[in-house]
Structure 1
Amino acid sequence: MLPVQDTHGNARSGIPMPSTVKKAPPSSVRMSLSGPALRAPYFPPAGSGPSSNPRHSVYRSQNANPLLQSTSKPHYGRTPLHNSTRRGSIWTGNAVLAAPSGSQTLKDPRPIRERAYQSKMRQEIFSWLHATGYEISMQTLTSITGKDYRAMFQHLVNLIDPCYPFEPKVRFEDEFQPALRALRYPFVSQIDNKWLAAPGSMHSWPALLAVLHWLVDTGKARLQYLESDDPTLQNIERIPEEFHEPMHHQALAFEYFSEAYIAFFHGADVFTEQDKVLEARYAKKNERVLNDLEEQKEQLTQLHAEFAQLQTSGAPLEKLQKTHGYLVSDRAKFHDVLQRFEGRKKHLIDTIAHEKEELNLRIANLEQLESEHNKLLDTVKAQNLTPEEVARMNSDHETLSRNLVELKQKISETQKTVMSLEVKMTNHGAAAEEALDLYTNLLSSLGLFPPLSPPFEGVDLTLQLNLATTNVSQLLIGEDIRKVIKPMLNAVAELKRTERAEVESERIKVDNDLDQLTLECENIHEEVREVEKKVVVLNEQADELRDAAQQESMVSNAEAARLERELAHARTAALSSGMGVKSRLQALQFDYREQQAKIARLKDETIRAIAKNSNEIALFKEEVSSRLRKLRDFVEEGG
């Protein structure tokens, strides 16, 4: 598996990308996937500070920032901080500074000698240690011992790099500065290992406290970075379904090669499961895009179908002219209906005026009768009558009054009956008018207004309602309903049912023809696919024949060149050895002529094979073209 260079400066640039994974050549020894061998031992530069032990670390730190280590991968194949190949730190700030070069000594710009700043550093260290589960008191930080300082230092370093290899049997003075150099502490050259014997002394404590404070800030920065959603974390659980960030691609690649690395350690040479997982993840990434592509293809197909339909259908002007003819005929029918309604309105206005006149006449008659009644009362009062006549008149008056009351009651009942009958007649008239309007609208929608088409051209199906007439037979103006209109409507309905049955039969026939055409088109498409497969096979055979002919030609040319060289050598030898070599020369010339004849024969066979295949391809193209032309003509005739 060959690594590729990472154009994005990724920390996992030593991991091969999927496109560069190749099988190693067969060998008796399996190649390692862990990369190149370790570097040579790293010796600190001169002037980096005194040390109580000349022993140096044999591993040169290659990691600039341990925060870039993956948090989602298992510990298979991980290397500690001092042997990491990750890129440099991307963190800058007051505490995380750039590492100095070996030939330059930086001075700590922090006011580590001031008591206020020391108190602030102690408080931040104390809070961070308690937050990370390390129990310590403020008194311990005030009067620190070498054991406590070592425990705190190792705890803080392990928070930054959990894989750093502290060894309990090694002196703390031998591990202190290598660990700081591995973490790229910028002021490591200003620290003396002798200070670790008494870290709480006045001259050593500020620098050692600044080291702890720097480790605390670095641990906080690491925690903040790990809790963020930065793509450089390369956590596959935080990768969205659709992404375009290069770091997300690198994360998936690292996950793939991590799993392949584990499978390789278990003896696998083919990583099928890892390939399937990676393909499924990218298929999920491209799912929405593919769905959009399918929808766009469907829309394109629909638009092509609509375009073809528009091309095959008639001109829109013809449809508009036909629609205009329908609208003109409907306008004429609407004017006829409007004239009927105007006539009905005028008739109703005349009826209302006649009723008002009759009401005024009856009111005048009632006033005249009341005046006559008053005159009669005055006449009776002026007459001088006897008591018997008065009693008789009173009895007659009472009888007449009772009769009058009875007559008034009868008149009132008669008026109520007349009013109820008028209301019923009005309701029935309104219902009849609505039914007649519905009948007229149906005639308009069915196109049965006169003049009708043959054979009904002499019949008028329209009706009018005349509610002002007293003759029942004259309520409907028009043809007789029982004798003319109803038989006519039955005949029209039967004619429409017959036409509908014929149209349905024609539709079924057209559907059947369309299904047959579709089946024939599918069969033709299937034949075209079979012929294409044959063409592919013929092309492959032609390529194989061409390759074989070329190989044989190369072999023959090499043999001819060899024979020419031998012939030249034989001629040279013949000049020196005489006639004994002529026989060999003639034999070589004969072999040379045979090889030339063989080369010519192979060339002729190759040319004939190429011509034959080209002829078959041309015949196939002509056959496909003729089939497609027949299919197009058939579809155009069917359309």
Structure 2
Amino acid sequence: MAEFGRRSTLQPFPDPYHNRSHLPMPSTIKKPSHAGRMSMAGPALRGPLPMAPPGTNPRHSMMRSQNMNPLLQSASKPHMGRTPLQSSTRRGSIWIGGGQGSVPSGSQTMLKDSRPLRDKPYQSKMRQDVVTWLHSNGCDVAPQILQAITGKDFRMVFQTLINIIDPTWPFNPDQRFEEQFLPPLRALRYPYVGQLDVKWLVTPSAMHTWPPLLAMLHWLSELGRARLHYLESKDITLQDPSLVPDEFGDMNHHQALALEYYMEAYEVFLQGMDAFPEQDRALEERYAQKDQQVVADLEQRQDELKQILEELQTLDEAPAPLEALKEQSQSLRHDKAKFEEILRRGEARRQQLIDHVEHEKAELNYAVANLERLKAELSRLEDIVRAQNLSPEEVIRMNTEHETLSRDLENIKQKIAETNQIVVKLEVSLTRKVSDAEEALDQYTNLLSKLGLFPPLPPPLEEIDLTLDLNSAASNPQNLLSGADIRRVVKPTLSRVVETKRTERADVESERIKVDDELDQLNLECENIEEEVLEVANKTNGINDQADELREAAQQEALVSNAEASRLERELAQARTAAMANGVGVKSRLQGLQIAYREQIDKVNRLRDETVRAIIKNSSDIVTFKEEVSKQLKHLRDFAEAN
């Protein structure tokens, strides 16, 4: 706010009451209002730069701080820079006032107001808006107060509008109003403050002074409305901690929590404490609450991932289901063939039952026709009897015969009923026997399926069909069972199959016995070969021991020969020394010693050659024996695999 005369470049704030106003809005209305406490030290005092004394270092910075306020000085010095714990000083306003920038700039002086201030309807509208705004804020003023306003009323209205916008603005009742008029307007950045003159406050209702002053009051009321709308909008730029949701990510929400933390920490700091554990804990809990849903979601996803990994491990460890599916497919194919055979039999039986029902219907129709014919005959006979003129004796005789015939008829009916009962019982028994026969045929068919005796049969029985069908609706007993003859075809065929299977089983059993004998022989041969291998191994070990003994003896003889040669060399050296010392018999003794030395060397070489030849011979025998054993074992393995 150092440049009070600069015009705001921000767009006007939208009118919450949808009133058409051409007032430009100040730039402060777009900024979030911070409820933080201003520094009690006040602005830094700017004084003249002190000159460095002679002899000091000229490389010191010339831009050192010129803050002369003792409250902002070092806290290490006594009685300097200490913030008082309790202060009765009234908190200053956040608006910049005082004599700073009291002279308007040239740009504000040249700025021209484009509003129709001389228009009567526009003035009436501005007066109505100002009065309405004052009434809405609890200020009881007369509606006609702005018609012919006095200096006292203008001061009251002006201070009321300023206090609505900033309740902490320090109006001094003992100070002249002319001195307190322009600073709040400059602080609020009223764009046309350069066109106002404090001399107008003496007679504010004058014709040439009232339109600009009324426009200024209207601008303050519109600014208050915009400020109220902004505060009630719950916008995130307000940085109100109570408006921060549980989950947030906007920078304004972070700044709101930071501002609350700084305010509470500063209050604790003013009480003389440098640590803020409560504020830190509250801020950590608030951010923990923000991340609670994310952490819960993360844990849930981790659990799901763990379950998926367990399922994947289970699927990886489980065997491939292809073999089980193949077996199931084969079983289903077998069941399908069986069910198709059962369906074929059921269809054949259904057709037989349909034919039987048709036959029974035909017989029933025939019986009904015969009954009608008998009834007609009975009616004819009754008419004939009534037409005849019979005597009483004949009537009695006929009645007697009728009674006799009736009794005979009753007896016959009773016998017929008994016969029907017997027939019903026989039918029930027949049905049961037919069911038993069908079950027996089903078992027979299942056995054929299990034994693989469905046609075609293996040669030489490929032309024989062992399947049987039961036709319970056949009238001829010979046609009850359809298929091959049981006595002539089925039983002999089954007997041949049984004999064939027995023969095959006997052959298999004989083959098994033969294979068992061969295996026993092979096991016996293996045991013999193992014994021979053990004997050969023992012989080999003995030969190796002998070779080791020969090697040790040769080494001992070589050591003895070497010792003897060393002794002879020493004696030769002594002899040479003695010969050189005495000069007597040197050559003869030297020759004798040389001959003895050569003999010892020849003996050592001979023993070494014999030892080497013996070792080579034993090694070649061992290699030959191992090759022979390997050939025998390979031949035995090939023979066992071939059989």
Q: TM-score, normalised by structure 2?
A: 0.49
Q: TM-score, normalised by structure 1?
A: 0.49
